[in-house]
Amino acid sequence: MAPKQPNVIFFFTDQQRFDMAGVHGCPLDLMPNFDRSARLGTHLYHSYTCQPVCGPARSSLQTGLYATNTHCFRNAIALDPEYKTLAHYFKEAGYHTGYIGKWHLAPSGMQAVSELYQGGYDEWLGANALEMCSDAYDTVMYDKAGKRVKLPGYRVDALTDAAIRFVDQNQQQPFYLFISYLEPHFQNHRDDYPAPDGYEERYRGRWLPPDLAALGGSAHRHTPGYYGMIKRLDEAYGRLLDALKSLDLLDDTIVVFTSDHGNHFKTRNGEYKRSCHDSSLRLPTVITGPGFMQGGELRQLTSLVDLPPTVLDAAGIGVPEVMEGHSIMPLVRREPVVWQESIFAQISEAQVGRCVRTHRWKYSVVAKDKDPGKDPASDTYEEEFLYDLMADPYELNNLLGLESHQTVAEVMRGRLLGWIEKVEGAKPQIITAPVRPSFQYRVSEKECYQ
C-alpha cells in the first residue's frame, strides 16, 4: 500500500516581525505555540522575504518566482492567470485545495475575487484586500462565486474557524490549504492595530525590540495592539494544531507558519515596511509535520521563494524547473549540500531598491531617479547602506564609504550584481559612495566573505 500523501497547510500572517517569537528573544511570551513548534519541528532561524510588501511577496510565495518575474513588483498588479501557483501543482498531484483570507493578487478594485484570478484553488473564501472590506470584529469575505459572506468573531478567529471546518470536511483525501490572515497588519482606514478586546491593555509600556527603542517611530503608540494581535494569532495557530490532533491528522500534515514581511513602525521611512532592514525583511518561519519533526534550528539563509519548492518536495511532488528557490529538504535531512551564502531582496513603492544579505553583512542600493510606483528596476543604482550585522544587529550604524570597509563593500557589490543578473537578467551600474576616513580597524579579506 502506497504511503498517504501528506496534507499541507500554510499559516500565513501579514507584517509580522521575526523577533516577536521567544526563540528570537522576545520576553513577552507572545508566541508559545510557535516557540514549541520551533523546538519540535524545523525552525528556519534566518528566514527572509524576497520583497517586503504584500502583493509582491504573495506572488512569490504562490509561484516560487521573484516579484519582478511574476510582474507583480508592487501592490495593485494582478497575478496573470497564466502563471501556475502551488494550487495547480498540488491539484495535479491529486490534492484538494483551499484558500481562506487575504489574496492581494487580483485586479485593483476587485474585492470579490473572480474565479479567473483565484489562483486555481478548488475552494475559496477570501477577499483581495481584506483590510479594505473587513475590520477586527467585522469579518467580511467572499465565496468562490463572489457571494458576500460575513463570519462571526474576531477576524483571526473567524478565519481559523473556517480553516478548521475545511480540514474537518476534507479528511478523506490529501488537501492543501492556504490560510492568509490580515493580522498583525494595521487597519488601513484608522492606521491602528486593533487587538482583541482586553489584549492591548496587557502590553502597554512593555519591552520594545532594540531598533524600535532606539529609533521610536510609531512604536510606542502601536506596539501594544500589535502585540495583542500576535498573541491571538499564536492562539489560533495552537487551535489549528489541536484540531489536527483531535482528527488524528497531526502526524500526516505539514504546517508552515510564516509571514510576508516584517514591520519597522515608521522608523526607516514614512510607513511600515518596504525597506532593506531586517525589521522589514526577516520572517518568523517554522515547519512541522512529516519530514520536519526534530529538524532542529537551521541557521542557513533561506528566502520566501525557497518555501514553494520545499513543500512540493516534502509532499513527494517534483519541483518545477521554473521555480527560482531551492528546497530545504537536504538541509532538514542533514545531507551534504552546497547552500546559498546570501539572500536577495527587491524593494518597491517606497523606493526602487535592491539588497543582499550574508550572515554578517547587509548591503543595499537605491535608484533615486526612478518612480517606485512605476519602475520595477533601474539600470543605475547608488549605494545606500552597509551594515556589519555581527557588531550592529539592529542596523543603526551605516558603514558605507569608510576606508576600513571598502573591500567589504566591493565584495557585497559583486554579490548583489550577481543576484541581479541571475534573477533579472540585467547588469546595472552601481555608483559607489564617497570614501571617508575611518579610525576603525581595516576589515580582513576573510571577514569580507562571512
236 pLDDT exceeds 80? yes
Give this prediction's pTM. 0.97
Domains and CATH numbers, the chain: 7-332 (3.40.720.10), 351-448 (3.30.1120.10)
The strand pair at 282-283 and 7-13 is best described as: unpaired
**Nearest-angstrom CA–CA distance, 160 and 255:** 14
Mean pLDDT calculated for residue range 128-145: 97
pLDDT value, residue 120: 98
175 pLDDT exceeds 80? yes
Q: How confident is the model at residue 1 (pLDDT cuts 50, 70, 90)?
A: very low
3 pLDDT exceeds 90? no
Determine whether 298 is exposed, middle or buried from the number of CB atoms within 10 Å of its CB (0-12, 13-18, 19+). Answer: buried
Cα–Cα distances (Å) from 153 to 46, 157, 443, in that order, read 34, 6, 55
Q: Which of 135-139, 334-338, 444-448 has the lowest mean pLDDT?
A: 444-448
450 pLDDT exceeds 90? no
Q: Which of 61-70, 238-247, 341-350, 432-441 has the lowest mean pLDDT?
A: 432-441
pLDDT value, residue 171: 94
The one-letter amino acid code at 36 reads R
**Nearest-angstrom CA–CA distance, 354 and 366:** 7
Run of H or E including 226: helix 219-246
**Cis preceding linkage at 184, omega within 30:** yes
Do residues 121 and 178 touch, judged by C-beta distance below 8 A?
A: yes
167 pLDDT exceeds 80? yes
Q: Cβ–Cβ contacts within 10 Å for residue 22, how many?
A: 18
393: Cβ contacts below 8 Å, ≥ 6 apart: 278
Mean pLDDT calculated for residue range 67-80: 97
Provide the mean pLDDT of the chain.
Answer: 96
360 pLDDT exceeds 50? yes
**Nearest-angstrom CA–CA distance, 366 and 172:** 51
31 pLDDT exceeds 50? yes
